[in-house]
Structure 1
Amino acid sequence: MNIRLHKIEKPESRIIKISGSKSETNRALLLKALQHSIQIENGSDSDDSYLMLQAISEKKEVIDIGHAGTAMRFLTAYFAIQPDCSVIIKGSDRMHERPIGILVEALKQLGAEIHYLEKQGYPPLKIIGKKLIQNRISIQATVSSQYISALLLIAFRLENGLRLQLIGKVTSVPYIKMTLQMLNRIGVKTDWTDDVITVYPASELADTTLSIESDWSSASYYYAIIALSPVGTFLELRDFEKESLQGDACIIRIYENFGVTTHFKGKSIRLEKVASPAKEYLEADLTNAPDIAQTIAVTCLGLNILCNLTGLHTLRIKETDRLQALKNEIEKWGGTVCITENSLQLTSKININRDTKPVLIKTYQDHRMAMAFAPLALKTTLDIQEAEVVSKSYPDFWKDLKKIGFKMQEL
């Protein structure tokens, strides 16, 4: 389904309730699979979380997790420690291009039995579950924090716990801290000293309810909407914490550069455009929050601001090569984008506030491409290809945009 977003002057000031964080929910689902007494409140309604839950509960011999990268990593670790379990886990064509060798080799260090069915180091996998006794391993920490989180989440169910040594500069640190804090919430003891993380075994745990905060990655698109709106525009978002586990909460500080303020009141936040952007050039290191890179880059495009975003090495192995995808789509407006393995620079100003034939944004089966470009309707009419892809993380995205006055039609 392709849609056209018609240009609007400003959004209507409304209250939006975003569902729970996908990152927190998927961790909670895995913890609940290992400790059945856990209850989950305000879980994500995303496709990824549904696929995760389905894979755990249906106990099929062949599991297809589609594009759900987090599910692939977490479930690989989960099934590896299930005695007498034999399962094949596969995904979409793109999923079979996303590396998983670092995690698989770490699990093999623990004694796991995992076989590659096609290309070495990539899904699909055949996993023969067994009881794992080893508890000391090392892992490269520079590629994906999800490999580390997958190991940490299962560690309390290993007979001797886990002592995990991290090699190299750790990427996406807040996501690892999120994992450890969620383990602490259910009563598991952990320790992170220098480059070593220890998770202690825990067989008996008290009943726990994990209340999931709303998703800051999804909130980022509303920050972009307010940034691209006239001064005085505001929106309210529900169920957010001032002391968040989510690394993407750094969006608060970054969007102050665009004249957007954030006010907490209870569990609500009010976003307001209070001033024009303070500068014409933005520099930001997104090592700890790479998922908001697309939102920020497109905001800079819409505000005619140059930028240099770094810490983006993980974007090459996401649902698509997000750096190349951003370059392709931003340059449709005539600008110049320079990308490296680690960075994206918007190097020429582009005035997109024009009445010309709508630009068609290709999404590359990536939910964040669709949602990151949608706020540009505050500046120009544009078309979004395969708009339904947003269901991967935020199924109600288009419905919620309609609530705040966005005008759209199917093509």
Structure 2
Amino acid sequence: MKAILKRENFPSKNIEINISGSKSESNRMLILQAQFPSISIENLSESDDTKVLQEGLKTTKGIVDVHHAGTAMRFLTAYFAAKDGAEIILTGSQRMQERPIGILVDALKSLGAEIEYLKNEDFPPLKIIGKSLQKSEVKIEANVSSQYISALMLVAPMLPKGLKISLEGKTTSIPYIEMTLSLLKSIGIKGSFSNNEISIASVEKIEKTSLVIESDWSSASYFYSLVALSGEKKNFEIALSSFSKDSLQGDAALVQIYDSLGVRTVFDASNRTISLSKKNTELPDSLILDLSNTPDLAQTIAVTCFGLGISCKLTGLHTLKIKETDRLLALKNELEKLGATIQVDESSLNLEKSSKINSNITIETYQDHRMAMAFAPLSLKTNLTINNAEVVSKSYPNFWNDIQKTGVGLELMNFDV
């Protein structure tokens, strides 16, 4: 499916958009709910990743295919390994079979897990025989993906003695580890994180409790970009719900980052709505950010800066090499089509200032949902076509409908021409 985008009736008035629950919070809570059925969850994410995880958790014997869902692969690897009696072959798409999981598997094996690689060493698919893991201490490299660490934290309550996790090296995406710890504590599980050491207590039973998932800040980022690129539009606001000023999500850093890019955020505490509007402010010549705690924002920020004609240097992006695609290379390829001068290496991106944007460019998504959504707001500056537009369903199935509400001209074509 192609998305053909044009700046036609933008902006619409009184735009209100409801974004579903955070994928990150939803997936963590589903693993905990599988262990403790007394937990009920409201405002669950509508993403494909969350649906895949839900389906996978219904199975204890057989094949579980997570398709492109990296979080599901990592969380289910730990869950099934610690689930006594489970007999699972855990697999995914061709790209998923190219994404490493050896660090997590090694950590689980050191706890006594029975996991076998069915094709290539360190990569899915995996054969997992679940058992009660009796050991209570593990070491793991901390500088690749925080999801490995969160996967261990989430199954720690299943272990008879709980779990102490020693982190080796610089920890990546600390807010996501803190999110996991906060969610554990919110249902009454004791835990701590200090001096590169995480401790989670064993728990047999959780009292009946209901949790409301906050909406997804990563999904909100595309509307921040849209407002930033909207020009000087008076009385133009986008209202997004349901968001908290005291968010557990690291991507709430959007508020400060986009404030410097001309977007004002106003919180309405009574109904947990945020209103985004354009500020009358002078933009910086360059934006320099360390995104090691918020790497999922990199694509959106880079495209916004290009559209605003300012340079940016983004660092802390080493995890983007092992996502749905090599996101750094994908960004370079597509921004260069639009006229950008950009350099990338293993962990950073350097975009030069540019005043020209090429028109009528077709953007490839590389089966990566964030590529499609990050480039869509640039349609306020130039006409775009985005290939494989359906990929947004991985995290934000209603994205194109919500973009259309803002007045951006949109035509979805269900065939290639």
Q: What range describes the TM-score normalised by the shorter chain of this pair?
A: over 0.9
Deviations 1:251-274 (A, max 9, x none): 110001111110100200011101
Q: Check the 8 A contact 1:304/1:350 in 2, yes or no.
A: yes
| Offset of residue 347 of structure 1 | 1.9
Q: Which residue of 2 aligns with 1:242?
A: 245
TM-score normalised by structure 2 residue count: 0.96
Alignment of 1:44-55 (within 5 A): 44-55=45-56
Alignment of 1:115-134 (within 5 A): 115-134=116-135
Q: Percent identity?
A: 54
Deviations 1:5-28 (A, max 9, x none): 012473224110000000000001
- The residue type equivalent to 1:21 in the other structure is S
Q: Which residue of 1 aligns with 2:6?
A: 6
Partners of 2:214 and 2:355 in 1: CA distance: 36
Partners of 1:46 and 1:408 in 2: CA distance: 21
Partners of 1:9 and 1:405 in 2: CA distance: 5
Q: Which of these residues, 271, 285, 297, is aligned with residue 302 of structure 2?
A: 297
> How many corresponding residue pairs?
408
- The residue type equivalent to 1:57 in the other structure is K
Partners of 2:202 and 2:84 in 1: CA distance: 17
Partners of 2:163 and 2:60 in 1: CA distance: 26
Deviations 1:153-180 (A, max 9, x none): 0001100000100001100000000000
- The residue type equivalent to 1:215 in the other structure is D
| Offset of residue 60 of structure 1 | 4.8
Partners of 1:406 and 1:168 in 2: CA distance: 45
Note the residue ranges of structure 1 that are not aligned, 5 or more in a row.
none
Alignment of 1:4-403 (within 5 A): 4-8=4-8, 10-13=10-13, 14-231=15-232, 232=234, 233-266=236-269, 267-352=272-357, 356=359, 358-403=360-405
Is 399-408 or 8-17 further displaced after alignment? Answer: 8-17
| Offset of residue 187 of structure 1 | 0.4
Partners of 2:150 and 2:55 in 1: CA distance: 20
Partners of 2:158 and 2:59 in 1: CA distance: 21
Note the residue ranges of structure 2 that are not aligned, 5 or more in a row.
none
Q: Check the 8 A contact 2:135/2:161 in 1, yes or no.
A: yes
- The residue type equivalent to 2:135 in the other structure is Q
Q: Check the 8 A contact 1:5/1:377 in 2, yes or no.
A: yes
SS of the residue 2:68 aligns to: coil
SS of the residue 1:179 aligns to: helix
| Offset of residue 203 of structure 1 | 1.0
Partners of 1:203 and 1:65 in 2: CA distance: 28
Partners of 1:277 and 1:49 in 2: CA distance: 40
Per the alignment, do residues 9 and 278 of structure 1 end up closer, same or farther by CA in structure 2, a change over 3 Å counting? farther
Q: Check the 8 A contact 1:90/1:96 in 2, yes or no.
A: yes
Is 6-15 or 189-198 further displaced after alignment? Answer: 6-15
SS of the residue 1:61 aligns to: strand
SS of the residue 1:132 aligns to: coil
TM-score normalised by structure 1 residue count: 0.97
Q: Check the 8 A contact 1:9/1:378 in 2, yes or no.
A: no
Aligned Cα root-mean-square deviation (Å):
1.1
Partners of 2:353 and 2:231 in 1: CA distance: 23
Q: Check the 8 A contact 1:9/1:229 in 2, yes or no.
A: no
Partners of 1:387 and 1:11 in 2: CA distance: 22
Partners of 2:4 and 2:192 in 1: CA distance: 50
| Offset of residue 85 of structure 1 | 1.4
Q: Check the 8 A contact 1:333/1:350 in 2, yes or no.
A: no
Q: Check the 8 A contact 1:224/1:296 in 2, yes or no.
A: yes
Deviations 1:105-124 (A, max 9, x none): 00001100000011100100
Partners of 2:39 and 2:317 in 1: CA distance: 35
- The residue type equivalent to 1:243 in the other structure is D
Q: Check the 8 A contact 2:164/2:199 in 1, yes or no.
A: yes
| Offset of residue 348 of structure 1 | 4.1
- The residue type equivalent to 1:248 in the other structure is D
- The residue type equivalent to 1:5 in the other structure is L
Q: Check the 8 A contact 2:36/2:205 in 1, yes or no.
A: no
SS of the residue 2:239 aligns to: strand
Partners of 2:162 and 2:60 in 1: CA distance: 25
Q: Check the 8 A contact 1:362/1:385 in 2, yes or no.
A: yes
| Offset of residue 410 of structure 1 | 2.9
